Amino acid sequence: MRKSLFKYSLIVAVILLAIFLFQKINWLPSFNNIFKSQPVVIEETPIIIKQINTLAQLVTVTYTDEVVMDQAKTGNGIPSIVSAGIGMMMLPPTDRLVMIGRGKVLAGIDLKNITSADVKTTEDSIHLTLPHATILNTIINPSGFETFDEKGSWSETEVIALKLKLKNELTQRAIQQNILRQAEKRSKNIIETFLKAEGFKKVDISLNN
């Protein structure tokens, strides 16, 4: 009796050990994953080049931040009942979308429009007129967006509108942080260092009015 109990326990233990080992080397799905939704994986499709542009942008400052925004509208679901004083009140259903956007704002100067008139050299001195710094781009890629809450039905246009609001908010924050002044200062430093490395003893850089 005891012998057979030992034998059965041994078989069970060996089976359990085998299951654990097979799960470890991914031959079997883990118990947690059996009822887990499988991720939707996109197919490898070709990337087609539509346009090639030549740039000459000196990116000198980047501002990285995260912003949160929400949007609400009257939905089509079941109205919610809330207590109001001694009675109850019926509120129309509310669809809500809360998104987080993490991205960056790039600032610098566009050197494409520098003409010969902007560069004046005399022996070992140079005077250069640079354009003012601008916001070159605000980037929040799909990897930077996170949907914190999504209740109800939201159309693609509404989602895009909220994402654009997040981008706009990010740009505004960067401007409030004086990104343009910092970018101008840094651009002047970089160009000055480059010109001095070329051998110019006196370098004078001004900004275009």
Instruction: Name which of 24 and 89 has its Cβ closer to other proteins.
Output: 24
Smallest distance, Å, CB 45 to other proteins?
5
Instruction: Name which of 81 and 161 has its Cβ closer to other proteins.
Output: 161
Amino acid type, 149: D
Smallest distance, Å, CB 33 to other proteins?
11
Quick one: tokens of 160?
């895009």
Instruction: Name which of 20 and 81 has its Cβ closer to other proteins.
Output: 20
Contact 96, 68 (CB under 8 A): no
Helix (H) or strand (E) holding 103: strand 94-110
Quick one: tokens of 110?
């566009």
Instruction: Name which of 93 and 100 has its Cβ closer to other proteins.
Output: 100
Smallest distance, Å, CB 84 to other proteins?
32
- The conformational region for residue 152 under phi > 0 = left, psi -120 to 50 = alpha, else beta, is left
Smallest distance, Å, CB 82 to other proteins?
27
Q: Strand 202-207 relative to strand 119-122: parallel, antiparallel, unpaired?
A: unpaired
Quick one: tokens of 78?
């079941």
Smallest distance, Å, CB 162 to other proteins?
9
Measured on CA atoms in the order 189, 193, 194, 200, is the torsion positive or negative? positive
Instruction: Name which of 8 and 91 has its Cβ closer to other proteins.
Output: 8
